[in-house]
Amino acid sequence: MPELPEVEVVRAGLEPAVTGALIASVDVRDERALTRHTGGAAHFEAALTGQRISAAVRRGKFLWMPFSDDEAIVTHLGMSGQMLLRVPGAPEERHERIRIELEHPVHGPLSVVFADQRTFGSLAVDQLVDTPDGAAAGRGSNLARVPTQVAHIARDPLDPAFDVGRFRARLARTASGIKRVLLDQTVASGIGNIYADESLWAARIHPETSASALPTRAVNRLLGEVRAVLDKALAEGGTSFDAQYVNVNGQAGYFAHSLNAYGRTGQPCPRCARPIVRVSFMNRSSHFCPHCQRLR
DNA sequence: CCAATCGCCTGCTGGC
DNA sequence: TGCCAGCAGGCGATTG
């Protein structure tokens, strides 16, 4: 369930280890980790070997490591992907898919391991293109160049160049339920099921409220809560329910203790003490307080 | 063009 | 005890 805060924790952990590092070798152990890469394992390994990584950048849930002004390793963790930092020769991780050996000019040799239980995540070599607004593509670099696989998604709500006017306009012309719209990465990126539920609970908005029916002040309140929830989760190291989400050193985050709605079916709403309900939605679940979050 | 659904995948849990 | 349905849910592709 890595969403924006979890991916940012991973990016921040990778940054000092990979910036300036030379890619000594690449070992693809499971081709399913390359579903977004065109060219196969041999091509992936050859394209990366001998290159030097210049940064670790993130927009929404996408993470990428540029190795020139034109190319980057794009990473998406999917549901259960992990990027782990290990010493060379470290034992194979459970669900290990790809191992990249680096030679850092200061820290020396280290391994970056991509492990992924459910194989929804992947790595790919992708081309970089200019950002339409000329601003930095994401957090972690000033370069205004974004991978083609990431170019179609919106900036995330924590991005200084996030276009609030565009966000409001998208909501105003979409009749779908607000939760569905929040999960649409082309509206605002980085929000998944957990933080959508938490933001809507904080803003006291029912998840099925039509987006276009939200008054301007409700939209502003919601965006404020989205940012507050993402910031707090990031400060607490992200949300870990099981061993699936961990930082680059394999450690869990603490935000699961701060959840008010998500996963709290039947437990009292922290605001009004009435039980949180769970409803089926888009092959997943919505958790909310039917008293604090009324559909009108 | 837009909205909604489907398929991908593994491991765990709960009911019988 | 074993078996299986259900659940976790991101994304892109496909359908309506």
Distance C1 C1' – A63 CA (angstroms): 45
> Which nucleotide shows the minimum CA-to-C1' distance to residue A183?
C10
Residues of A identified as active-site: 2-3, 61, 284
Q: Would you say the CATH fold of A164-288 matches that of A4-147? A: no
Distance C5 C1' – A154 CA (angstroms): 37
Chain Cα centroid distance, residue A70? 23
> Which nucleotide shows the minimum CA-to-C1' distance to residue A280?
C7
Q: Sorting pLDDT into bands at 50, 70 and 90, what band is A296? A: confident
Write down the domain spans for chain A. 4-147, 164-288
Mean of per-residue pLDDT scores for chain A: 94
User: Please, which residues have CB within 8 angstroms of residue A106's CB and are 6 or more apart in sequence?
Assistant: A20
User: Please, which residues have CB within 8 angstroms of residue A10's CB and are 6 or more apart in sequence?
Assistant: A2, A63, A77, A82, A83, A247, A248
Alpha carbon distance A4, A2 (integer Å): 7
Supply the pLDDT for residue A243.
Answer: 66
pLDDT tens-place string over residues A65-90: 999 989 999 999 999 999 999 999 99
Query: DSSP assignment, residue A142?
Result: -
Q: Sorting pLDDT into bands at 50, 70 and 90, what band is A242? A: low
CATH of A164-288, one of 3.30.160.250, 1.20.1050.10, 1.10.1740.10, 1.10.8.50: 1.10.8.50
Is strand C in 7 Å reach of the CB of A180? no
Least confident of A42-51, A162-171, A253-262: A253-262
What type of residue is A120?
F
Protein residue closest via CA to C1' of B6: A283
Asked if residue A49 lies in contact with residue A72, where contact means CB atoms within 8 angstroms, the answer is no
Tokens of A91: 């034992």
Alpha carbon distance A108, A126 (integer Å): 27
Supply the pLDDT for residue A210.
Answer: 95
Distance C13 C1' – A109 CA (angstroms): 40
Q: How far is CA A250 from CA A26, A114, A116, A144, A240, in A?
A: 21, 12, 13, 31, 11
At A63, phi and psi to the nearest 5? -125, 140
Tokens of A11: 């990016």
Is strand C in 7 Å reach of the CB of A120? yes
Supply the pLDDT for residue A41.
Answer: 95
Average pLDDT over residues A118-127: 95
Average pLDDT over residues A276-284: 87
Chain C positions under 7 Å from a protein CB? 7-12
With 70 as the cut, is the pLDDT of residue A174 above it? yes
pLDDT tens-place string over residues A216-239: 999 999 999 999 999 999 999 888
Chain B positions under 7 Å from a protein CB? 2-11
Alpha carbon distance A153, A185 (integer Å): 5
Q: Sorting pLDDT into bands at 50, 70 and 90, what band is A249? A: confident
Q: Where are the alpha helices (DSSP H) in A19-172?
A: 40-48, 164-172
Is strand C in 7 Å reach of the CB of A1? yes
Domain A4-147 has CATH 3.40.190.170: no
Supply the pLDDT for residue A126.
Answer: 96
Residue with tokens 């990584």: A53
With 70 as the cut, is the pLDDT of residue A156 above it? yes
Is strand C in 7 Å reach of the CB of A3? yes
